[in-house]
Amino acid sequence: MLCAKTNNHENDYTIQQPIPTIAQPRKKKYPVTSRVPNYKALIPLNLTSTRKVPSRESGFAVPKFMFINICSLAKTKNRVRAVVALEADLVNNDIDVCVVSESHLKPEMPDAVVTIHNYSIFRRERSWEGRDMRAKGGVAIYVRNNLKVIDIYRSSLYELIGVTLLLPTGNRMSIYGLYHPPRHNYLESDLLDYLINISDDVLDKYPDTVIVCGGDLNSLDIKHLEELSGWDAMVDFSTRGNTCLDNCLTNRIDLFSKCYPFHMLTKTDHMGVILPAGTKLKPMRRKVEFRDCRKHRKEDFHKALAEEDWEDVSKSTNVNDAVNCLERKIMDHMNKCMPTKTVSISSRDPYWMSPLIKSLLKSKSRIARSQKDRLSLINKRISDVICQNRRNFRAMVGSRTWWRKTNDISQRNASSSRVTLDNASLTRLNRYFGELCHDDSYVEPTLSIIGDEVDIPSFTEQQVWNALKRIKRTATGPDYISLLG
């Protein structure tokens, strides 16, 4: 029985009164039994890799990489320089960064010998700082000019070069090009510790840095490097015969797509490796201003000049006024008949895409679909210009006609043993090569100062000619460019 106390101030004593309770039946508890799962109703799930999947939300745009072993950047095979073939590979595959192993360059070779248009080269030769004077070896990195390079690192102990980029998104990326030769004079464990230390130093300062390391690693223990660094190896196919010698590793595998091999245009026994980006960088664009100088435009310009009244020019008593009047009239007709146009050129445009084609495509987009006659006319013009650009491109690249003209000008295949090249022929030959090949970054070397105490030897013309006849056509000159270059 439940009771409660009550206080009575008048009588000043305490009494106990019972509290009424309600009795209800208790709910019955069912015993817990073990359930037998129905395996037929289960859905099978495919187990996937624990690696991160590329996500556009968490990722950002990164460069597209190429890793190659070119076996000398300065070589010439089948009358084609290796750097020219490499340039074609970079343009055709839209590569932003290229790591080259076994560059076989020497420190005294200028960058102009292996330069590529729209790319900057960073080199680390084997004989750099004089620690390893063996021939061959070396590593180089080509970086497209639209990427900002903020730091360069060259190792004095190993054939290793590092380039730090500031991506357009504001993220930092450290790229390491490494060549680990089959025969080396250092411990492999020391090289691994060296890689871990330099990468840890970078990550301590900038924890969000993306690290990409690759090159011709030969027999380097990739599994051990993955365990020490936490990086992921991207190459899972053979790059030379049945072995995987070239490889690349990164700490942000989620930013890249799957690697794939490709055959390089230059002669080498290695397969190239391309590491695509999960999200591509924006192409490099530039504004180009040009004049439409097609045949019908020139005919209109010539007709306008023929119909112009030139009395103001011929009757002018002041020479300056006459010249200004003449120039003004010519420019007015030129701007009217051959107007200046501005278009945007992208780094991903094909080789036959010219500013004129861009302008015609822009004009075509403004024509309504109902005007079929105008569309047909402009489509024919665009097709004609594309065909002409393709023919001109093939004519300038190492064709039979190209070499025949070169041999005729230089009299290389002359029937007579006596070769006579006057100044006009030499100038014509030099101009012909100058129109085909040019280097915007070329710097003319300074002449050496020869003192009076030096005995200058003298040579006859016949001695020079006999010496030149013995030189192979692939031999390089003082500028390290061969005759076939």
CA–CA gap between residue 275 and residue 258 (Å, rounded):
7
Q: Contact at 8 Å (CB) between 277 and 93?
A: no
The amino acid sitting at 259 is C
> Tokens 């054939």 appear where?
159
Specify the pLDDT at position 176.
95
Whether 15 is covered by a domain: the verdict is no
User: Same structural domain for residues 266 and 292?
Assistant: no
Q: Which residues pair with 143 in a beta bridge?
A: 97, 120
Domain that holds residue 169: 65-275
Whether 102 is covered by a domain: the verdict is yes
Count of domains observed in the chain: 3
DSSP, residue by residue, 121-157: EEEE-TTGGGS---SS--EEEEEETTSEEEEEEE-SS
The amino acid sitting at 91 is V
User: Same structural domain for residues 326 and 373?
Assistant: no
Specify the pLDDT at position 392.
74
User: What is the chain's length?
Assistant: 485
Whether 26 is covered by a domain: the verdict is no
CA–CA gap between residue 368 and residue 375 (Å, rounded):
8
What token pair was written down for 417?
A: 């043993």
User: Same structural domain for residues 202 and 309?
Assistant: no
Query: What pTM, to 2 d.p., does this model score?
Result: 0.60
Residues 6+ positions from 179 with CB-CB distance below 8 Å: 101, 102, 137, 138, 139, 159, 160, 215, 216
DSSP, residue by residue, 89-125: HHHHHT-SEEEEE-----TTS-GGGS--TTEEEEEE-
Give the CATH number, domain containing residue 231: 3.60.10.10
What's the gap between Cα 143 and its chain centre? Answer: 6
User: Same structural domain for residues 199 and 111?
Assistant: yes
The amino acid sitting at 9 is H
The Cβ-side half-sphere exposure at 155, using a 13 Å CA radius, reads: 22
Helix-strand-coil split of the chain, %, nearest 5: 30, 20, 45
User: Same structural domain for residues 155 and 300?
Assistant: no
> What is the C-alpha radius of gyration for the chain, rounded to an integer number of angstroms?
37
CB neighbours (10 Å) of residue 456?
A: 6
Final residue belonging to a domain, choices 358, 392, 426 = 392
CA angle 89, 128, 147 (to 5 degrees): 40
Helices and strands in the chain: count of H runs, count of E runs: 11, 18
User: Same structural domain for residues 290 and 373?
Assistant: no
Q: Contact at 8 Å (CB) between 98 and 246?
A: no
CB neighbours (10 Å) of residue 154?
A: 16
User: Same structural domain for residues 264 and 298?
Assistant: no
The Cβ-side half-sphere exposure at 380, using a 13 Å CA radius, reads: 5
Final residue belonging to a domain, choices 320, 348, 376 = 348
**Which is it for the CA torsion 177, 180, 184, 187, positive or negative?**
positive
Whether 410 is covered by a domain: the verdict is no
User: Same structural domain for residues 114 and 184?
Assistant: yes
User: Same structural domain for residues 183 and 100?
Assistant: yes
User: Same structural domain for residues 257 and 359?
Assistant: no
CA–CA gap between residue 208 and residue 62 (Å, rounded):
14
Nearest CA-CA partner of 170 in 153, 151, 152, 148: 148
User: Same structural domain for residues 245 and 340?
Assistant: no
Q: Contact at 8 Å (CB) between 102 and 179?
A: yes
Whether 18 is covered by a domain: the verdict is no
> Tokens 């064709």 appear where?
399
Helix, strand or coil, per DSSP, at residue 293: coil
Specify the pLDDT at position 38.
58
Whether 294 is covered by a domain: the verdict is yes
Whether 404 is covered by a domain: the verdict is no
User: Same structural domain for residues 157 and 268?
Assistant: yes
CA–CA gap between residue 15 and residue 3 (Å, rounded):
10
Final residue belonging to a domain, choices 259, 275, 291 = 275
Q: What is the pLDDT along the chain (485 residues), one digit of tens a residue?
A: 445 444 444 444 455 556 565 555 555 444 544 455 555 555 665 554 444 444 444 578 999 999 999 998 888 877 778 888 898 889 888 899 999 999 999 888 888 888 888 899 999 998 887 777 888 899 999 999 889 999 999 998 999 999 999 998 899 999 999 999 988 888 999 999 999 999 999 999 999 999 999 999 988 999 999 999 999 999 999 999 888 999 999 999 999 999 999 998 888 889 999 999 998 888 778 888 888 888 888 999 999 999 998 888 888 888 888 899 999 999 999 999 998 888 888 877 777 888 888 888 888 888 888 898 999 998 888 888 888 887 776 555 544 555 666 666 655 555 555 555 667 777 777 777 666 666 666 677 788 788 888 888 888 888 888 887 787 766 776 666 665 54
CA–CA gap between residue 424 and residue 260 (Å, rounded):
52
Whether 368 is covered by a domain: the verdict is yes
